[in-house]
Amino acid sequence: MHGIIFLAFEDFLTSRLNGEAWGQVLAKAGLANSEFSPEQVYPDEHIMALFDAGAEMMHLTRNAMLFSFGNHLAPGLVEMGRSTGIVAEHWKTMDILEHLNSEIHSSFASFHSASKVPDIRTYRLKHGEVAIAYVSKRRLCPLLKGILQGMAEVFREPVVFKEPVCMLNHGPLCRLSVTINDPLMQRYVDVQREFALVHSRIEEIKLFTQYKGIPISGSGLVLRYDHDEVLIQTQELELVAMRECGEVFMAVSHLPVGLKASVKHCDLTQGTALLTSFFLTDGAVGRRNFKRVVPDVLIPVQLTFDDKKLKGVIHNLSGGGLAVDLKHGQNIDEMMLFVPVRATFRIPLKWVKIGDTIELGPHDISMDANVLDVQPLATGQRVRILFSPSSAHNLVVIEQYFKSLQDVALAELDALLHG
């Protein structure tokens, strides 16, 4: 372990206890009268013995003491990073973590090649969230979390940790998710940063607009961007749909979640749209296995549980499932999330072609399913339901219903384009 850590630990114990604490901890660790230099590297066994002795002196568990020590280290590490030029002046918590393995960690390793630097890898999932993988024989993950917490306090940014895998719980590594605990920041998009990357790679972005309940998809190129707005070029039909809807969803290759933006202006002669007011979506965009449609008429649906029947209206429908709006008094409780449900509804199609046969409609559908989640609404609940493997017949009926509404929507868009 590098000598800087020994000196920092001495400062930590002195600040938390008293001026005599360091000598007492050295004695407890069997290192009485030892001195440490910031230019030297010392055996890991020495710092581990000091950590154990320090935790005992502070009447803390070893992990709690390491977290507190990491918190103590953070301001000095940020200051040192800035003074050496490794940390940019405008960076905050998520920025530092994003550049940790590409710039900061590699720089430290090159300066202190004799020290065994842990393997820390980071990936910025979105503006307010970074994923971290940490591997080290020292297993000092509480120290790392303390540093992260202290760094967030330096920048006055509330953060929360999730650690589904930890070496202290017999995991092969520690996997951390660090998130800014602010709903607005979790959905915030650094427009200039994200679209500078797309523009520099000359990448297409995938565009999705919902027109009359039908998804209209296309692709576009980023022409220019600034802190608040992005000018894209795309196909005429997509432009008309964006103009009519006033919003668009996007998928860009380097983000695991989608983007939503307002459409400020469309120029059909130039083939461009000016987008603004960007937010992150809850999940990925454009990766559905089934085409989803919002019905153009009310479609009643009955949900049958073991001993209860609920009636609602379909909000959207696909071959993989549906969303149902339930009014107050028809609510699903927590226990109903864990039992099978049967969804029964009628598709308003005049006819369906099944192979060489024409079946007259409307068409009754009954599917086994499970409740995926429940979202509260002002009028009741919206229940997302995932179908069990469906019959080929039901899938054909739903697919042809989608196609019938898609034909109408595309015809309307074409009329708007050429009208």
Instruction: Give the tens place of pLDDT for each residue, 82-119.
Output: 998 888 898 999 989 988 875 655 555 555 555 567 88
What pLDDT score was predicted for residue 100?
Answer: 82
CATH at 242: 2.40.10.10
Query: Across residues 75-84, what is the average pLDDT?
Result: 91
Distance CA 155, CA 182 (A): 14
Distance CA 150, CA 58 (A): 19
- pLDDT at position 64 over 80: yes
Kindly state whether residues 222 and 311 are assigned to the same domain. no
Kindly state whether residues 197 and 141 are assigned to the same domain. no
What pLDDT score was predicted for residue 233?
Answer: 97
Kindly state whether residues 195 and 183 are assigned to the same domain. no
What pLDDT score was predicted for residue 283?
Answer: 78
What pLDDT score was predicted for residue 13?
Answer: 94
What pLDDT score was predicted for residue 108?
Answer: 54
Kindly state whether residues 203 and 267 are assigned to the same domain. yes
Among candidate residues 158, 188, 218, the one where a domain is terminated: 188
Sequential DSSP letters for 241-290: HHHHHSEEEEE-TT-SS-EEEEEEEEETTTTEEEEEEEEE-SS-SS--SS
Among candidate residues 188, 203, 220, the one where a domain is terminated: 188
Count of domains in the chain? 3
Kindly state whether residues 211 and 127 are assigned to the same domain. no
In a domain, residue 47? The reply is no
Residue where the block lists tokens 């049958």: 304
Which structural domain, as residue segments, surrounds residue 154?
89-188
pLDDT digits (tens, 9 = 90+) for 111-150: 555 556 788 888 888 788 899 999 999 999 999 999 999 9
Kindly state whether residues 348 and 376 are assigned to the same domain. yes
Tell me the one-letter amino acid at 391: S
Residue 261, Cβ density class (10 Å: 0-12 exposed, 13-18 middle, ≥19 buried): buried
- pLDDT at position 273 over 80: yes
Please name every residue paired with 215 in a beta bridge, in sequence order, or none if there are none. Answer: 210
What pLDDT score was predicted for residue 372?
Answer: 85
What pLDDT score was predicted for residue 18?
Answer: 87
Kindly state whether residues 402 and 304 are assigned to the same domain. yes
In a domain, residue 339? The reply is yes
Among candidate residues 188, 213, 235, the one where a domain is terminated: 188
What pLDDT score was predicted for residue 54?
Answer: 95
- pLDDT at position 413 over 60: yes
Query: Across residues 319-323, what is the average pLDDT?
Result: 94
Kindly state whether residues 199 and 156 are assigned to the same domain. no
What pLDDT score was predicted for residue 86?
Answer: 87
Q: In the structure, what pLDDT confidence band is assigned to residue 274 with cuts at 50, 70 and 90?
A: very high
Contacts of 193 (CB under 8 A, 6+ apart): none
Q: Collapse the DSSP code of 17 into the 3-class scheme (helix H, G, I; strand E, B; otherwise coil) and give the result.
A: coil
pLDDT digits (tens, 9 = 90+) for 177-208: 999 988 887 788 889 989 999 999 999 999 99
In a domain, residue 387? The reply is yes
In a domain, residue 341? The reply is yes
In a domain, residue 26? The reply is no
- pLDDT at position 295 over 80: yes
What pLDDT score was predicted for residue 183?
Answer: 82
* Burial letters 88-101, b for 16+ CB under 10 A, else e: eeebbbbbbbbbbb
Length of the chain: 419
CATH at 169: 3.90.1520.10
In a domain, residue 295? The reply is no
pLDDT digits (tens, 9 = 90+) for 3-16: 889 999 999 999 99
Kindly state whether residues 232 and 327 are assigned to the same domain. no
Could you tell me the two tokens for 417?
A: 């384009």
Rg (CA), the chain: 29
Q: How high is the mean pLDDT of the chain?
A: 90
Kindly state whether residues 380 and 323 are assigned to the same domain. yes
- Residue of 111 and 221 predicted with greater confidence: 221
